[in-house]
Amino acid sequence: MNGDPQRIEEQPYGIPDKKVPERWDVVGLGQAMVDISASVGDDFVERLGLVKGTRKVVNHEESWKVLRDIDGRDYKVSAGGSLSNTLVALARLGMASSKNSAQNVAMTGSVGSDHLGDFYRTKLLRANVHFLSQPVVEGTTGTVIVLTTPDAQRTMLSYQGMSSIVNFDTVLASAIAKSRVLVVEGYLWEISQTIDAIAQACEAACQQGVLVALTASDVSCVTRHRQQFLDVMCKSTDILFANADEARALCGFGENSTPEQAAKHLNQFCPLVSVTDGARGSYIGLRGELVFIPPAPCVPVDTCGAGDAYAAGVLYGLLRGIPDVKGMGDLAARVAAIVVGQQGTRLKEEAAVELAESVNSLSDLLDTRLMELMGMKDQVQPKKISSV
């Protein structure tokens, strides 16, 4: 395969009889990495020569050295990543609805044929997210070691492993052809060899009438790869997710500009734009009209994963046919607020049930612009909510 790493034939998920759907509501393309989180003291971070609160890319040996150092401490291992947070929340919302069929959600990326790779795929599948890509033989799965100090600062060490190998292969092409929405994780822009694969995937989706959603993911990543990001956004993208800083960076605006100004500017090039601004709320732009979404009430516990949850709410609202932008944004804000008010970045199943049932009760005039965006104009009658 043109020098591509060899991939094994089967995926030993450890879960029997999990049927693979024929079609997908959402397919994600992103980094597949295992998070290993531990609480440490400031002296531990200093001893490693790290700058507290930063993210450092390390090699395999450096990663294992730190893992040996935290051995014996309390730590948590999870199938991590911004994209997987969004996909798991979306799948749980889809499974929780009593009046609609489940959402079929999948992810593509690269993991190794090691125990961590098996762990990653098993965890996703238990959350009803199918990992479609075959593991790389003798490859090592990427990890992010998250060291949290008493002041709640997170210092991260990222070992990319096989997550840096993302190709526009037959698995990805087939998944896109069978999907309604392709979501591309912004962190992939950090890996230079994946940029061509991103462009190919987005172009293929666009040609086949599949919606393309991009997540900005990280302001420094956006700043370094702004032109490539803009090229894909303008050519092939239907939906953009960004926070205020990422949106400003994409626009080339200074810190004095507002999230509203950035959202308006980006909406000229992308039909649906979502810009979050933390506790100050968010903005959703749909074909030139901007709507402010107030934050949902919550007692903040951990803001990590809030943007991922918000994106899941927007996607779920689109797929379920929420009648207008305000309703879709309010749902997204509620999903984000639940995640912010808990420990951990994943929407819990019991919370998903309540949120999904609230969507079932909606009925109003469906915004024709949302119908057009979802390619449903001929399928949905005026003055009726979509039954999709």
Nearest-angstrom CA–CA distance, 214 and 219? 14
What are the pLDDT digits (tens) for 245-292? 999 999 999 999 999 999 999 999 999 999 999 999 999 999 999 999
Q: What is the pLDDT of residue 387?
A: 25
pLDDT of 11 reads 45
Q: What percent of the chain has pLDDT over 90?
A: 56
Can you tell me the distance from the alpha carbon of 56 to that of 53, in angstroms, rounded to the nearest whole number? 10
Confidence of residue 381 (pLDDT cuts 50, 70, 90): very low
pLDDT at 7: 41
Per residue in 205-224, pLDDT (tens digit) is 999 999 999 999 888 889 99
CA distances, 2 to each of 18, 30, 137, 171, 179 (Å) = 32, 22, 16, 16, 27
Cα 230 to chain center, whole Å? 19
Q: Which of 265, 340, 35, 274 is nearest to 158 (CA)?
A: 35
Q: Report the predicted TM-score, pTM, of the whole model to 2 decimal places.
A: 0.86
Q: Which of 332, 228, 223, 219 is nearest to 272 (CA)?
A: 332
- Look at residues 293, 363, 300 and name the one whose alpha carbon lies nearest to residue 328: 293
Contact of 13 with 121, CB cutoff 8 Å: yes
Identify the weakest region by mean pLDDT among 58-62, 65-69, 297-301, 342-346.
342-346
**Would you place residue 92 in the very low, low, confident or very high pLDDT band (cuts 50, 70, 90)?**
very high
Q: How far is CA 328 from the centre of its chain?
A: 17
pLDDT of amino acid 240: 97
SS3 38: strand
Q: What is the pLDDT of residues 110-125, one digit of tens each?
A: 999 999 999 999 999 9
- pLDDT reported for residue 361: 61
Strands (E), 40-152: 55-57, 75-80, 105-108, 129-131, 142-148
pLDDT confidence of residue 376: 45
Reported as a pLDDT band with limits 50, 70 and 90, residue 132 is very high
pLDDT value for 248: 97
Provide the percentage of residues in the chain whose pLDDT is more than 70. 87
- The per-residue pLDDT for 314 is 95
Whole-number pLDDT of residue 356? 84
pLDDT value for 17: 56
What DSSP string runs through 201-239? HHHHHHHTT-EEEEE---HHHHHHTHHHHHHHHHHH-SE
Q: In the chain, where do the E strands start and end?
A: 24-29, 33-39, 55-57, 75-80, 105-108, 129-131, 142-148, 154-159, 179-184, 211-215, 239-243, 272-276, 282-286, 289-293
**Residue showing tokens 């090699």:** 59
- The predicted pLDDT at position 385 comes to 26
Across the chain, mean pLDDT equals 86
| Residues constituting the chain | 388
Model pLDDT, residue 346: 85
pLDDT given at position 345: 83
